[in-house]
Structure 1
């Protein structure tokens, strides 16, 4: 798979909406987040975590403790304009729970 294909949301001038995944690579804990602009929100979340101002306290504390190298922030699902992001978030969170994923 070409980098451009995998990260197509980063190589476009159009806003791509969907779900972001913030993953602690040490504990495999995951947080899914809705996004109207995946590329922009990835940068905003990273900046917020670096500043220590991210809204999820537990995730922020873990980020500060173990460092950015052990976290990934990526596009988890690219949605169409018609798809309801809240519903997608609920569906994908539920699916992760069924897989016994550790969630924030």
Structure 2
């Protein structure tokens, strides 16, 4: 009984530590700059309201990084890593042409 409880506690501490470390890694991540080559290629804007609708006709009002499946943050995060931008931080209110609505 004690060994299974100990194993459980060790696994809980391990999971919690990895979550804390990953969140701390976010703090060290660099933000995506609109001037970055990849950002320019994908039409990334830190403010979705500034998307060039003529150049990106698939853009629809309401689409933002925060509701994209590639956004790695949780609801309410102002910035978070994005899998499209190699873990760099994107603005939750931003948008790029790789946008895919969260399921």
**Common topology (TM > 0.5):** no
Q: Which has the higher contact order (CA 8 A, sep 6+)?
A: 1
Larger strand fraction of residues: 1
User: Structure 2-normalised TM-score?
Assistant: 0.27
User: Structure 1-normalised TM-score?
Assistant: 0.27
Larger helix fraction of residues: 1
